[in-house]
Amino acid sequence: EELINTLRINFDLSLLKEFTIEANPMDVTEKHLKTWRKLGINRLSMGAQILDDEVLKNLNRCQKTQVVIDLMNIVPKYFDNISMDLILGLPGVKNEVWKKTLQTLALWPINHISIYFLTVYEKTKLYFRIKQGEITLPEEKEQVLLYEQTVNFLRENGFKQYEISNFAKPGFESVHNIGYWDFLPYKGFGLSASSFDGINRFMNYKNLSKYLDNAVLGNCFDFEVLTEEQRVMEVLMLGLRQGKGMDLHRVLYLLKDSSECRFLDKIKDLKSEGLIRVFNNRIQLTLKGMFLENEVILDLLS
């Protein structure tokens, strides 16, 4: 409440379209929901990951499926803009379990689903268990097929894919996320938060003592001016993530003359490989291209 009131004092929030809070289902109570709604929050995003206790337990997550189910009996009383996160490619997930999870979400009163691919970070418990052979991850071909099936299922159930990992019913696309992907300015507050003014990126200090010592002076950040290469990379990366693709001329405008021909040749190669499509001077990733987005971006930049 104190944080939101501070924002209201410093910014005009009267035209705010979307106010999202992200929550772990295990930590949410009806009291939280009442308070958040009273404070003006109008969108709730929660991480279910998968609706299967055995899989979650194997990943050392204490979350229970029943908690999510019980919560979804309460949430619609307070929020009509609800998003749920899932993780595709978790070890030990049978196709039937994944499909049942999707079917359950499709029946719930939610209007936005984010589906992320599992990322394994070095030196985590999961990383070592995979390295020791205790856990086996699905093969890439299996994940590509499951991703395609997921996209098709969600489309058939009214969720349009507007970004690689994001699906929404009409009118419920995340305003916040689209702002990042369209390279719009944004402000971040607090320890290690980032801001962007369209040219420069500002990063608040990660060290708590350093941050607190400098916050009072209003100088608790480092900043970087994006180089030409960084701008091209970010415009490509953020633009191609979106279902609508991106304006080819926008990229060509940022490239040096000597790079244009090479870039256009790369476009032809990727098109012949079935990774991108070109239409009305826009470039768009295919489903296969979306799964291999990082490789496509690196190829275009090489």
Looking at residue 109, what is its pLDDT? 96
Please, which residues have CB within 8 angstroms of residue 210's CB and are 6 or more apart in sequence? 220
CA–CA separation, 180 and 82 (whole Å): 20
CA–CA separation, 115 and 16 (whole Å): 26
SS (H, E, C) the chain: CHHHHHHHHHCCCCCCCCCEEEECHHHCCHHHHHHHHHCCCCEEEEEEECCCHHHHHHCCCCCCHHHHHHHCCCHHHCCCCEEEEEEECCCCCCHHHHHHHHHHHHHCCCCEEEEEECCCCCCCHHHHHHHCCCCCCCCHHHHHHHHHHHHHHHHHCCCEEEECCEEECCCCCCHHHHHHHCCCCECCCCCCCEEECCCEEEEECCCHHHHHHHHCCCCCEEEEECCHHHHHHHHHHHHHCECCCEEHHHHHHHCCHHHHHHHHHHHHHHHHCCCEEEECCEEEECHHHHHCHHHHHHHHHC
In this structure, the dihedral spanned by the alpha carbons of residues 55, 164, 84 and 40, taken in order and rounded to 10 degrees, is 150
Tokens 């419920």 locate to 172
- Tens digit of pLDDT for each residue in 191-235? 999 999 988 899 999 999 999 999 888 788 998 888 888 888 888
Looking at residue 37, what is its pLDDT? 96
- Tens digit of pLDDT for each residue in 161-202? 999 999 999 999 999 999 998 889 999 999 999 999 988 899
Looking at residue 8, what is its pLDDT? 92
Counting residues of the chain whose pLDDT is more than 70, the rounded percentage is 99
- pTM comes to 0.89
Checking phi first, is residue 179 left (phi over 0); if not, alpha (psi -120 to 50) or beta? alpha
Looking at residue 99, what is its pLDDT? 94
- Tens digit of pLDDT for each residue in 1-10? 999 999 999 9
CA–CA separation, 203 and 186 (whole Å): 12
Looking at residue 258, what is its pLDDT? 65
Tokens 């507007």 locate to 162
CA–CA separation, 134 and 122 (whole Å): 16
Residues with pLDDT less than 70, the chain: 258
